[in-house]
């Protein structure tokens, strides 16, 4: 029943959508009044309308995408204002940015005099989130507004009229899911981006990679797994080792044509076996037909068009980037030519009038005739479309909504995308193509071969879907038990080939399969890879990682973390979907996801030297960083009180124990030994109020629970300046982190505000005696001398020396390399080092060389194209076996040994024990 007129504020997501909807609803262009708002881009359209018998004065305006931005409080926004780890719990809030303040003022002014607020935002999660931003602004000045939501999928009169008469409530679950995503992405992205940018930007010369631009080494929880797909495929290609194979091919030519038969075995890698089988076939070449099969084959039309499929097909057919495809599709949607282009749905609702969509296309000069055939019942061409099993409950599949033979302002890309949408729709409501397929199997000397021929009987959907084809070939007629002599019978070589680089369509498929991003954001993540110089895209739309992109992935991979893998993000995406369905709360998902990623962040920071090592493979060190930065990441704690020239920084010694040492080493050997029970230590931005001279930055320690008394907390924010009693007590109780035993060393003395140790009074790391340095230790001189005196291994009975690195007995081996074949050398039996010395060098007094074995790829042996397969690390990231191969110069190469007997002096293919 008609009542008193109400004033309705209608808000669309873009000015063009507001204009289009207002024009449709006003019907009479003369009755549509236009005035300016505070923002000159967002006009206000006024007209009268009736909603369910309710007279309304409609005010129609718009925003421009998101009205608000999520950001940290002011004190956390500057990069050096806080520890990046603090960003996982730093306060965040939504604010209207300065460039959208005028839009906000328009909404506030109009909302004050309205009774209703109708939201015409895009009907996906992102649109729902923007809708609630509008609600927050409007209800702040008018809390009595009646709030309604219009749901539509196309800017056409039928959709708009139906939606305005069936207004619904906005979906808070959808908005919460987007809020969760925004907060997770902000916290994770900001913390990791600051961490890796500050760590490496000034440490390496990477300006040439980034075209001299201001470099930000960004990390995005979707962007980085996307980069991982690109790098992983690249590593597969680099690690590929071609293998030669052989196959037998047969052909038979008759008056009816030629049939090419393929070998049932495919191919063999063993040449001898292939030759033997081939000779058997040549000796008895008569072919006998053993089977002839004839059957009908169908080639089905595609499923209705979703966003991902649109992007993939545009990339394959037109070589358009996913980003540009979405830009063009959005413009076609705003013009009313296609339905909403952001949808996961590939299944039409039973309520959709499918034939009406086809009817509009009957007049087109290219596919109009096919549309007429499709609607003719006598052709039998119509077939209800197959569903792909996906439905986002928001929008139908992408389909044409208005006829066009090509608008004057369209580019070729607009014509291509419109044509793809129309032809795809016509194809999916058509019958499958029908073909008759014949398969013939023959026997030659006991070996099976087969040939296949196909004749297309009915093209059906292929008549309109010019982007697909179904090749057919006719083969001669054969009958069972027929015999013939092959026209050709050859043994042909071949070689295995690596997989190709990922195309844009491949990359979208990987992201879709693993749940990385959404249909509306996937193209943005790909765009970011190119903008950040993490990857390049060639003319064939295939991606290659840059040195920078590969180094970052390699660094995290060497840490043992799968931050570049899709698993963590896929779990987050599933959780956010549960939020949108009301099955999980936003707070629950935030707590779980952020705690998990914070743990990853803290671990990554403790192992950040891996990132530096990976970057050092590809980039030169920068002169902007002093020598103290060359081998480790510097976390400065305070100025050195001994030399007064360098800073003291948190470090790890060779045992992996923490200490605070002077960066002027070896000229200055000032050091503060820390308790050996520390498992984690990170320098914070907090400073001590007691110790002078300052600043003395506090360190966040984490102790191993089983190595400290139960009365002490495992987490401790401590000071190394001398005022920290807890740190002093734990040092006395647990010993320090130096290489010598705690019982021989005693607690580190504290004098005044400094724990500096006089280099002349510090104990030697090898014998724990004072008066000399570790480099001049007599025990090491004796050990080196002893290592050059061959003895006998009591267990094996082999000639042996003592390893100069760990003291374990060495074993005499024989080299099998090209330049040192037959030359004898000693190696260590210990699995923890790779001691090596030539036997003849012992008599010459040159001694041996010992080193700690590394399970990581050696930076001296892994080049740019080294790969991560058999010669490097495989794509699974598994470590190498840990043996020692000898190069022509006698230098050991870590991680290689014979797979048959374990001897590091030769490869398995020349092992004397092979086959035993």
As annotated, the active-site residues are 340
Name the 3-class secondary structure at 903: coil
Residue 436 burial class via C-beta count within 10 angstroms: exposed 0-12, middle 13-18, buried 19 and up: middle
Distance CA 853, CA 198 (A): 30
Longest alpha-carbon distance in the chain: 111
Output 47-55 pairs: Cβ under 8 A, ≥24 positions apart. Answer: 47/22, 49/25, 49/164, 50/2, 51/8, 51/164, 51/165, 51/167, 52/165, 53/1, 53/2, 54/2, 54/3, 54/6, 55/2, 55/3, 55/4, 55/5, 55/6
Query: Which residue reads 């040549």 in tokens?
Result: 282
Query: Which residue reads 């049939």 in tokens?
Result: 259
Q: At what angle do helices 172-200 and 609-618 cross, to 10 degrees?
A: 70
Distance CA 451, CA 699 (A): 73
Rounded to the nearest angstrom, the gap between the alpha carbon of residue 229 and the centroid of all alpha carbons in its chain is: 6
Query: Which residue reads 């998101």 in tokens?
Result: 66
The residues that bridge with 456 in the sheet, in sequence order, are 435
Contact call for residues 558 and 856 (beta carbons, < 8 A): yes
Distances (CA, A) of 614 to 198, 204, 460, 606: 16, 11, 55, 15
Residue 50: both structure tokens together: 């009736």
Number of helical (H) and strand (E) elements in the chain, helices listed first: 22, 31
> How does DSSP classify residue 859?
T
Name the 3-class secondary structure at 365: coil
Distance CA 49, CA 60 (A): 12
Distance CA 681, CA 602 (A): 10
Distance CA 428, CA 611 (A): 49
Q: In what order do the strands lie in the sheet with 671-673?
A: 635-639, 647-652, 658-662, 671-673
Residues 340, 341, 344, 349: what is their CA dihedral angle, to the nearest 10 degrees?
A: 40
Q: Who contacts 463 (Cβ-Cβ below 8 Å, separation ≥6)?
A: 370
What are the DSSP calls for 212-240, one per residue? T--------TTHHHHHHHHHHHHHHHHH-
> How does DSSP classify residue 739?
S
Distances (CA, A) of 46 to 49, 104, 248, 578, 815: 10, 19, 78, 40, 90
Residue 417: both structure tokens together: 């995308």
Residue 706: both structure tokens together: 């089983």
User: Is the CA virtual torsion 541, 547, 548, 554 positive or negative?
Assistant: positive
Residue 205: both structure tokens together: 């010369």
Strands 810-814 and 824-828 come out as antiparallel
Residues 524, 527, 532, 533: what is their CA dihedral angle, to the nearest 10 degrees?
A: 160
Contact call for residues 496 and 237 (beta carbons, < 8 A): no
User: Is the CA virtual torsion 119, 120, 124, 126 positive or negative?
Assistant: negative
Reported as half-sphere exposure (CB side, CA atoms, 13 A), residue 442 has a value of 27
């Amino acid at each position: 029943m008609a009542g008193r007129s109400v004033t309705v504020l209608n808000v669309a997501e873009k000015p063009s959508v507001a204009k289009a909807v207002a024009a449709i609803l006003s019907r009479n262009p003369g009755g549509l009044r236009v005035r300016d708002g505070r923002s000159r881009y967002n006009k206000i359209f006024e007209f009268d309308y009736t909603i369910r018998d309710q007279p309304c004065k409609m005010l129609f305006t718009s925003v421009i995408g998101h009205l608000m931005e999520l950001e940290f409080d002011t004190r956390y926004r500057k990069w050096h204002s806080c520890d990046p780890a603090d960003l996982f719990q730093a306060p965040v809030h939504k604010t209207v940015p300065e460039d959208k303040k005028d839009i906000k003022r328009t909404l506030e002014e109009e909302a004050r005099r309205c009774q209703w607020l109708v939201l015409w935002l895009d009907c996906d999660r992102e649109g729902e989130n923007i809708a609630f931003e509008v609600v927050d602004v409007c209800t702040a000045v008018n809390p009595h507004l009646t709030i309604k939501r219009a749901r539509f999928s196309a800017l056409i009169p039928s959709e708009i009229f139906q939606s305005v008469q069936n207004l619904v409530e906005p979906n808070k679950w959808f908005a919460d899911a987007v809020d969760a995503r925004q907060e997770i992405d902000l916290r994770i992205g900001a913390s990791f981006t600051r961490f890796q940018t500050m760590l490496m930007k000034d440490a390496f010369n990477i300006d040439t990679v980034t075209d001299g631009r201001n470099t930000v080494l960004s990390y995005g929880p979707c962007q980085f797994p996307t980069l991982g797909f690109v790098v992983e495929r690249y590593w597969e290609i680099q690690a590929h080792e071609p293998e030669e194979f052989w196959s037998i091919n047969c052909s038979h030519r008759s008056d009816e044509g030629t049939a090419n038969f393929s070998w049932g075995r495919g191919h063999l890698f063993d040449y001898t076996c292939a030759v033997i089988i081939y000779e058997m076939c040549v000796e008895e070449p008569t072919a006998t037909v053993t089977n002839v099969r004839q059957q009908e084959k169908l080639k089905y039309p595609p499923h209705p068009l979703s966003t991902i499929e649109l992007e993939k097909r545009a990339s394959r057919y037109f070589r358009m980037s996913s980003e540009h495809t979405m830009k063009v599709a959005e413009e076609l949607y705003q013009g009313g030519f296609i339905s909403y282009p952001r949808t996961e749905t590939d299944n039409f609702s039973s309520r959709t009038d499918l034939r009406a969509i086809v009817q509009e296309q009957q007049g087109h000069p290219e596919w109009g005739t096919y549309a007429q055939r499709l609607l003719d019942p006598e052709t039998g061409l119509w077939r209800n479309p197959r569903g792909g099993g996906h439905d986002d409950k928001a929008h139908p599949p992408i389909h044409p909504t208005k006829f066009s033979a090509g608008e004057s302002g369209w580019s070729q890309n607009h014509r291509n995308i419109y044509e793809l949408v129309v032809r795809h729709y016509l194809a999916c409501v058509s019958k499958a193509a029908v073909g008759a397929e014949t398969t013939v199997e023959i026997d030659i000397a006991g070996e099976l071969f087969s040939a296949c021929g196909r004749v297309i009987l009915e093209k059906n959907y292929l008549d309109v879907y010019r982007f697909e084809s179904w090749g057919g070939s006719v083969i001669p007629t054969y009958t069972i038990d027929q015999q013939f002599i092959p026209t050709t019978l050859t043994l042909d070589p071949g070689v295995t080939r690596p997989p190709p680089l990922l195309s844009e369509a491949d990359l979208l498929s990987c992201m879709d399969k693993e749940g990385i991003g959404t249909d509306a954001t996937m193209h943005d993540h790909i765009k970011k890879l190119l903008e950040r110089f993490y990857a390049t895209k060639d003319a064939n739309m295939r991606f290659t990682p840059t040195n920078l992109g590969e180094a970052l992935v390699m660094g995290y991979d060497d840490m043992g973390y799968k931050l570049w893998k899709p698993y963590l993000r896929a779990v987050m995406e599933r959780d956010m979907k549960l939020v949108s369905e009301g099955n999980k709360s936003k707070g629950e998902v935030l707590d779980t996801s952020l705690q998990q990623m914070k743990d990853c962040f803290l671990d990554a920071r403790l192992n950040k030297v891996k990132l530096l090592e990976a970057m050092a493979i590809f980039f030169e060190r920068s002169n902007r960083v002093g020598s103290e930065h060359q081998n480790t990441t510097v976390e400065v704690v305070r100025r050195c009180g001994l030399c007064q020239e360098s800073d003291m920084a948190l470090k790890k010694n060779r045992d992996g124990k923490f200490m605070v040492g002077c960066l002027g080493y070896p000229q200055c050997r000032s050091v503060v030994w820390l308790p050996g029970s520390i498992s984690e230590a990170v320098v914070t931005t907090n400073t001590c109020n007691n110790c002078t001279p300052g600043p003395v930055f506090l360190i966040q320690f984490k102790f191993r629970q089983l190595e400290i008394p139960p009365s002490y907390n495992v987490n401790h924010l401590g000071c190394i300046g001398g005022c920290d009693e807890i740190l002093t007590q734990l040092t006395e109780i647990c010993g320090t982190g130096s290489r010598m035993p705690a019982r021989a060393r005693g607690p580190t003395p504290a004098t005044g505000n400094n724990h500096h140790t006089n280099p002349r009074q510090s104990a030697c790391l090898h014998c724990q005696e004072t008066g000399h340095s570790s480099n001049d230790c007599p025990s090491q001189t004796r050990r080196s001398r002893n290592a050059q005196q061959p003895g006998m291994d009591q267990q094996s009975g082999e000639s042996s020396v003592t390893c100069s690195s760990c003291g374990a007995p060495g074993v005499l081996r024989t080299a099998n390399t090209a330049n040192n074949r037959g030359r004898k050398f000693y190696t260590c039996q210990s699995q923890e080092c790779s001691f090596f010395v030539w036997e003849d060098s012992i008599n010459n007094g040159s001694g041996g060389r010992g080193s700690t074995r590394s399970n990581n790829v050696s930076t001296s042996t892994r080049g740019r194209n080294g790969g991560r397969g058999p010669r490097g690390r495989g794509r699974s990231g598994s470590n190498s076996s840990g043996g020692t191969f000898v190069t022509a110069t006698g230098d050991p190469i870590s991680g290689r040994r014979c797979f048959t007997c374990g001897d590091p002096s030769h490869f398995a293919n020349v092992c004397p024990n092979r086959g035993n």
